Amino acid sequence: MSHDGTMSRPDIERPESVYFFGTCLVDLFYPEAGMAGMELLKQQGVRVVFPQGQSCCGQPAYNSGYREEALKVARAQLDYFPGDWPIVVPSGSCAGMMSKHWPDLFKGEPDEARARQVASRVWELTQFLVQVLKVKFEDQGPPVKITWHASCHAQREMGVTDEPKALLRQLANVELVELQREKECCGFGGTFAVRHPEISAAMVGDKVADIENTGAKAVVSGDCGCLMNISGALEGGKKPVRGVHIAQFLKERTHG
């Protein structure tokens, strides 16, 4: 992992095909965000492959201290991305696990080189849309005020900070109001939310207050873990603000 907080990755040529790694959270809770992500890629004329054998990057077990179990699940993914295409992930956290932590997780294993090769092809969705596909969106939705929640791992593991906001700013009728503490964690943290429910609640409470202060009608994010936490707290507190994944938001704005 980069400890500098920022990373620039070399440009690659626009590929003919990409793999889509949906992530287990999207699979179960936000499939519409996954479908929207694939749609956005297809709109740009890229062939999207969704390997049906995929499941999870292994992060839940890895962060809980069960590395062998994480390795087993991570290893099971390797077979399904044999082509030399980029692997696009609609989550900074899962992308960070694959590209930054897999090399450590597989260290000294017989398939380390293979895991590194797969990891090196991983892109976070907005990063890929901006840097590789250089998308230009045309907004077709009504005026709306939104805010953006930056996922910790997208920012600090994938070095994705400006890309998602740049995409949102392409939308003419969308007013993006930044949070006061945009970079602060929402308190999800995987098992942290249930291991330390009170601290997590206090953290998401601060996040919700920050969101409310912007007057936004929607909070857009690129990670479904954060979204599940923040939307859950907005709903739980009966706040009239909608939480939505950036892929879905972009698709709604550009495709009716």
Partner 1 sequence: MGETSINFAKASSAALQDQQLRGNFRRAMDGLMSKRAVQFADTAEWNGVRALGASVRLRALSKLPELLEKLEANCTRNGIQVHWASTTDEANAIVLSIMQRVNAKLVVKGKSMVSEEMHLNAFLEKHGIESLESDLGEYIVQLDEAMPSHIIMPAIHMNTKQIAHLFKQKIKEAEYTEDVAQLTDLARRVLRKKFATADVGISGVNMAVAETGTLCLVENEGNGRMSTTVPPVHIAVMGLEKVVEKLEDVPPVISLLTRSATAQPITTYVNMISSPRKEGEKDGPNEIHLVILDNGRSGIYADEELRNTLRCIRCGACMNHCPVYTKVGGHAYQAPYPGPIGSILMPQVEGLEKRGELPHACTMCNACVEICPVKIPIVEIMGRLRSEAVHPGDAVRGAGSHASKAEAMVWKGWSMTYASPLAYQFATALLAKLGNAAPASLPLLKEWTNVRSKPRFANRTLHALAREKGIPDV
Please tell me the distance from the alpha carbon of residue 37 to that of residue 57, in angstroms, as a whole number.
Answer: 18
The residue among 158 and 174 lying less far from partner 1, judged by its C-beta, is 158
> Which of 90, 171 has the CB closer to partner 1?
90
Shorter beta-carbon distance to partner 1: residue 126 or 200 = 200
102 versus 171: smaller Cβ distance to partner 1: 102
User: Residue 33 in contact with residue 248, Cβ under 8 Å?
Assistant: yes
Query: How far out from the chain centre does Cα 135 lie?
Result: 18
State the minimum distance, in angstroms, from the CB of residue 211 to partner 1.
14
Cα gap 110→122, rounded to integer Å: 21
Work out how close the CB of 29 gets to partner 1 at its nearest, in angstroms, rounded to a whole number. 6
| CB half-sphere exposure, 161, CA atoms < 13 A | 11
Minimal distance in Å, beta carbon 5 to partner 1? 4
Smallest separation, CB 146 to partner 1 (Å): 21
Q: What contacts 118, CB < 8 A, 6 or more positions away?
A: 77, 78, 81, 87, 98, 102
- Which residue bears the tokens 């740049």? 166
Give the number of residues written for the chain: 256
